[in-house]
Structure 1
Amino acid sequence: MVNFLKNMPGSSPHLMIIAGEASGDMHGARLVEAMQRLQPGLRFSGIGGQELAAAGVELLFDASKLAVVGLTEVISHLGDILAARRAIIQRMRTDKPALLILIDYPDFNLLLAAKAKRFGIPVFYYISPQVWAWRSGRVKKIGKLTDRVAVILPFEKEFYAQRGVEVEFVGHPLADSVRRENLRSKEAFLLAHQLQVSAETRIVGLLPGSRAKEIRTLLPDFLAAACLLVEQDQQKDWLFLLPQASTISHELLLENGLADCQDKINVRVFRDNRYELMAACDAVLAASGTVTLELAILGIPAVAAYRLSPRTYWLARLLVRHLRHFSLVNLIAEREVIPELLQEAVTPAALAEQLRFMLDNADHRQEILRGLAEVTTKLGPPGCAVRAAELALGCMK
């Protein structure tokens, strides 16, 4: 059992937490809340967003200024990146933390880990970078600079072990946040939104992502695939559900196919109840990413698709040659559970064909559902944040 009372009576231990992206902000907030429940009175400072701030973390720098991708964006934000690093190091000096918690964001966080080690500050890495995909040489660096590492994908533990680094698999945060029993029924969702359907209606989700670039590269093909399905099978009743992320404007949706297809198909746009929307679908076209795991937990078959810029795709092919799959569902299952379409393979015809087979072939659909259940089991039981909190508190000085 972890000894949570390592500090002197009446002391208020200070910890630092660094989350450079929106997902890390959310998962970090759940970790902070779990640590506070296990050991009340902890003080936190660091880098994050609204979620960590709401959890009581004193933000020394806004993570939104650091959430950049691509060399050009990094260079243009270099001033912010250096300012954030200076702010963290200064606080390390003036109010030495009992622990530094790092969440993903490796290029920035590993520099801070090295500094923390020189200051004698223990380091806990929560949600490892995707070293299994590329730059696997960072594994040994992570092992050298950290005291404990918690991973959230089941295959990561063995990946690290094969390279001589011990890590702990704590389960996936989605096991806590995506719970079918917490959602309204499909019938209640449809009724609440006045969606008239029959028992024969095919309900298809169109989930092109939450980034503007994803909308531009995927939504036109998703909508064109929907139009093909309707054209090729006009005897069926079709309903298409399109969630609109808070980061995306309705104008962007209209500019990327929605305006052209609204008179051809029955498509409805939603700004909330995202999980209920997903759970109401018979199948989904989805941008590859965490959403495929959310759909797996909900038991909804999906076609995973992604398209990169030609230059990025060329670079990725050079750096990532060992992975047979790119969707998280298939990576965890170690086989193809859901169909994947990448780059030039993402066409309206291919999307429509995969979706139709998924909907019409009962044996194929049941095979997918069995695979999704297997992946959900591998993600581990609820309680990821608590297990990670126990590990983190065990690292404190």
Structure 2
Amino acid sequence: MDTPLTNMPTSSRHVMIVAGEASGDLHGANLIRALLEKNPGITVSGMGGRELASAGVDILFDAARIAVVGVFEVLSHLKDILLARKILKSEMLNKKPAVLILIDYPDFNMLLAKQAKALGIPVLYYISPQIWAWRKKRVHTIARLTDTVATILPFEQDFYRQFGYEVEYVGHPLLDTVVPKASPEQFKQSLNIPEENVLVGLFPGSRTKEIKTLLPIFLESAKHLHDHMQSPITFILPQASTIPRDLLEANGLSDLPADLDLRVTTEDRYTVMAACEAAVAASGTVTLELAITKTPTVICYRVTNMTYLLGRLLIRNLRFFSLVNLIADQEVLPELLQDQVQADNIVQHLTRMLEDDVYRKNLDDHFTRIHEKLGNAGASGRVADLVLEMMGHGR
């Protein structure tokens, strides 16, 4: 059965791309834009969200329907996950793209890679799964089922090399995207925030579960910090496109005291980050974005107890859970885990970030070194060159 499938003619100008989460959707979109700029005749289909759609990708399945975290959350979305896999496999069989681009999302994507291998479709894995954190033996599966792996973290190349595999380190794509569109002064003016006000950002995440778990605690922290600070303070809450306003209202926003100045904004997130003098954020890509904008941040991670206990069994030797500290290989930013995510703890760290000048200067120096470790801008273009080479169009 495999032989006739493998001998199917490849569509030499068609590419498939699969991204399962918001960050993958963004980085995939920038990759596709770079690819189409280099070769406008290429067509692209796959799974993703509005970013990939805006880049010109024919979206076969909306990734938001299966963007969940945790074993038990995955089980509740199993029907959609199976449907997405069926649709994408059918697309591979019918169009046989010249290259399949997979972005992170390993449990879903490795099954697609296996199907692509059976069809003779070259596979590029962009943004390698974090197998250095858990299930390290998966490195052999990735090497067997992919043709090229493009890594974005500086230590990943050495990780693969210790197992005898060579990968392409392309630098971090956030260096291409984390560019504020306005100065902190301009941002304050746009929201009529007094120039002397201290700005503190609240970044509770872009998923419903994160909002329900973290936003009430973040808002309680804002109340405590407001009572503690001598200087006037404004809190900024960026509203993710995936989060409706009524969800924010239902999780504490409607219960704030009248004298607490909190602004919900949908303005450019990187402008918001750069304007903040400190922030509290859910663990994830946002913490690295904040580090690139040199914003001192308290990092919080809180999931269901069952998901956490299962994770502890799988991840035993990891010193840190945030990308910022993993890249720095030391605790640069404070990490609060599970029951540590409490308003008093958050306020303690935020107060130090706002009031201790020596501490702030040390953080700034660490941010500079982290930025240097991430490599140079232009990751999207470098990955686009890899795709073209795999398609036979040369670099």
Query: Does TM-score exceed 0.5, indicating one fold?
Result: yes
- Equivalent residues of 2:179, 2:271 under 8 A apart: no
1:237 and 2:232 are equivalent in the alignment: yes
Distance 1:94 1:232 in 2: 63
Distance 1:142 1:170 in 2: 18
Q: 1:364 to 1:384 in 2, by over 3 A?
A: same
Task: Encode CA deviations 1:95-136: one digit per residue, 9 max, x unaligned.
Answer: 322211111121222112112222222111111111122222
SS in 1 for 2:45: strand
SS in 1 for 2:359: helix
Match for residue 217 of structure 1 among 213, 216, 221: 213
- Equivalent residues of 2:152, 2:169 under 8 A apart: yes
SS in 1 for 2:251: helix
Match for residue 299 of structure 1 among 294, 314, 339: 294
| 1:338 matched residue in structure 2 | 333
Q: 1:336 to 1:101 in 2, by over 3 A?
A: same
| 2:184 matched residue in structure 1 | 186
Match for residue 324 of structure 2 among 321, 329, 337: 329
> Where in structure 2 are the equivalents of 1:120-269 lying within 5 Å?
120-180=120-180, 183-198=181-196, 201-233=197-229, 235-269=230-264
CA RMSD of aligned residues (A): 2.0
Further displaced range: 20-29 or 311-320: 20-29
- Equivalent residues of 1:151, 1:167 under 8 A apart: yes
Q: Which amino acid aligns with 1:110?
A: M
- Equivalent residues of 1:150, 1:169 under 8 A apart: yes
1:384 and 2:382 are equivalent in the alignment: no
| 1:5 matched residue in structure 2 | none
| 2:355 matched residue in structure 1 | 360
SS in 1 for 2:276: coil
Distance 2:65 2:280 in 1: 31
User: How far apart are residue 25 of structure 1 and its match?
Assistant: 2.1
| 1:3 matched residue in structure 2 | none
- Equivalent residues of 1:12, 1:41 under 8 A apart: no
Distance 1:13 1:251 in 2: 44
| 2:8 matched residue in structure 1 | none
- Equivalent residues of 1:12, 1:43 under 8 A apart: no
Distance 2:232 2:135 in 1: 48
SS in 2 for 1:154: coil
| 1:43 matched residue in structure 2 | 43
- Equivalent residues of 2:12, 2:97 under 8 A apart: no
Distance 2:91 2:245 in 1: 42
- Equivalent residues of 1:227, 1:264 under 8 A apart: no
Task: Encode CA deviations 1:242-275: one digit per residue, 9 max, x unaligned.
Answer: 2222222333323323333332422222122322
SS in 2 for 1:305: strand
SS in 2 for 1:98: strand
Q: Which amino acid aligns with 1:231?
A: D
Q: 1:55 to 1:256 in 2, by over 3 A?
A: closer
| 1:59 matched residue in structure 2 | 59
Task: Encode CA deviations 1:210-252: one digit per residue, 9 max, x unaligned.
Answer: 222222222222222222223234x322221122222223333
SS in 2 for 1:65: helix
Q: 1:138 to 1:213 in 2, by over 3 A?
A: same
Q: Which amino acid aligns with 1:152?
A: I
Distance 1:165 1:176 in 2: 27
Q: Which amino acid aligns with 1:245?
A: A
Q: 1:389 to 1:219 in 2, by over 3 A?
A: same
User: How far apart are residue 150 of structure 1 and its match?
Assistant: 0.4
SS in 2 for 1:356: helix
Q: 1:109 to 1:195 in 2, by over 3 A?
A: same
* Amino-acid identity (%): 54
Distance 1:154 1:367 in 2: 22
- Equivalent residues of 1:286, 1:305 under 8 A apart: yes
Distance 1:192 1:69 in 2: 35
